């Protein structure tokens, strides 16, 4: 990306008391000099567009079927109740990605995670919410738990992208959010820089869930931004199950093939 969308200056509804016609002129001037740009392609947004344009929104599509009913991978080939992408052993009960990891999805994740555009999190959460509405396997979890960051990375970034998505999901679903249920107890390398086997070793022992964290006999909705090898999600699920969770259902914005 070569630029970052800039927020336009706010215009009061009555343009400082000068009347609606002047207010309309002021808004037109602001729109001319400070046009709203799509966070993905940086093209000018139409008045009806939100944060991303309709063209980029159309690229946010579900993973291509057949989708694995266990790990949510697209183009799945099921053999012996698992697909080739399923971890072995699999500690989560089911996982779903709201959208496939297309170029547009990747750009949105990058803008949220690395450019700090937390205003994108509600867009992602609304896509995740559709899964909860449509997929019977994800019916009525007891609590939402975001995949945590280690404290050092949280201090550098200033926020946890999974937490930002989870907060909007809590608002949409009224399912209580419990970020204290899971803790990242040691720093890890970025998973994107590692191979599948290295990813599993990288996160092994990186998480902790206290048995007093109120997860016992609960169905947990584990939330993250992206799922690729499923190593992080699987390790989180293992720890939550050891703490007594009944089921762990993983929901991510983007699922890589």
Per the CB < 8 A criterion, the answer to whether 217 and 249 are in contact is no
Distance CA 255, CA 128 (A): 11
Distance CA 211, CA 170 (A): 23
* Residue-wise DSSP of 189-241: --GGGS-HHHHHHHHTT-EE--TTSS-TT-EEEEEEEEESSSHHHHHHHHHHH
Domains of the chain and any CATH numbers: 56-255 (3.40.50.2020)
The pTM score is 0.84
Note the pLDDT of residue 33. 55
Note the pLDDT of residue 25. 64
Note the pLDDT of residue 18. 53
* Residue-wise DSSP of 77-112: -B-SS-BTTS-SS--SSEEEEEEE--HHHHHHHHHH
For residue 206, the tally of other CB atoms under 10 A from its CB is: 18
Per the CB < 8 A criterion, the answer to whether 182 and 145 are in contact is yes
Note the pLDDT of residue 1. 44
The CA radius of gyration of the chain, in Å to the nearest whole number, is: 20
What is the mean pLDDT, run by run of 10 residues, along the chain of 257 residues?
Answer: 51 53 60 73 76 90 93 89 89 97 95 94 96 89 97 95 98 97 91 80 91 90 96 97 97 94
Note the pLDDT of residue 8. 52
**234: closest CA among 186, 201, 193, 194?**
201
Distance CA 75, CA 6 (A): 38
Bond preceding residue 125 cis, omega within 30 of 0: no
Distance CA 173, CA 223 (A): 13
Distance CA 214, CA 145 (A): 11
Note the pLDDT of residue 13. 47
Backbone angles phi, psi at 252, to 5 degrees: -125, 160
Question: What does the angle CA 67 – CA 72 – CA 75 come to, to the nearest 5 degrees?
Answer: 35
* Residue-wise DSSP of 139-156: ---SEEEEPPPPHHHHHH
Note the pLDDT of residue 43. 84
Note the pLDDT of residue 132. 94
Q: Which residues of 116-142 are buried (b: 16+ CB within 10 A; e: fewer)?
A: ebbebbbbbbebbbebbeebeebeebb
């Amino acid at each position: 990306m070569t630029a970052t969308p800039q927020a336009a200056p706010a215009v009061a509804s009555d343009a400082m008391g000068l009347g609606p016609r002047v207010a309309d002129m002021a808004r037109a001037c602001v729109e001319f000099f400070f046009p709203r740009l799509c966070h993905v392609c940086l093209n000018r947004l139409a008045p009806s567009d939100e944060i991303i344009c309709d063209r980029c929104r159309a690229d946010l599509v579900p993973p291509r079927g057949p989708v694995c009913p266990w790990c949510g991978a697209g183009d799945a080939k099921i053999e012996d109740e698992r697909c080739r992408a399923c971890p072995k052993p699999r500690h989560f009960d089911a996982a779903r990605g709201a959208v496939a990891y297309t170029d547009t999805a990747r750009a949105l994740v990058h803008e949220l995670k690395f450019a700090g555009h937390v205003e994108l999190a509600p867009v992602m959460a609304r896509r995740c919410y559709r899964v909860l509405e449509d997929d019977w396997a994800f019916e009525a979890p007891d609590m939402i738990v975001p995949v945590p960051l280690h404290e050092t990375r949280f201090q550098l970034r200033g926020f946890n992208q999974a937490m930002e998505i989870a907060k909007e999901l809590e608002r949409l679903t009224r399912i209580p959010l419990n970020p204290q249920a899971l803790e990242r107890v040691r720093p890890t390398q970025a998973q994107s820089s590692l191979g599948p086997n290295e990813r599993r070793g990288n996160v092994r022992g990186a998480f902790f869930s206290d048995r007093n964290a109120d997860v016992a006999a609960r169905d947990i909705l584990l939330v993250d931004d992206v799922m690729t090898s499923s190593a992080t999600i699987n390790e989180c699920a293992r720890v939550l199950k050891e703490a007594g969770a009944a089921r762990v259902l993983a929901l991510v914005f983007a699922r890589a093939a």
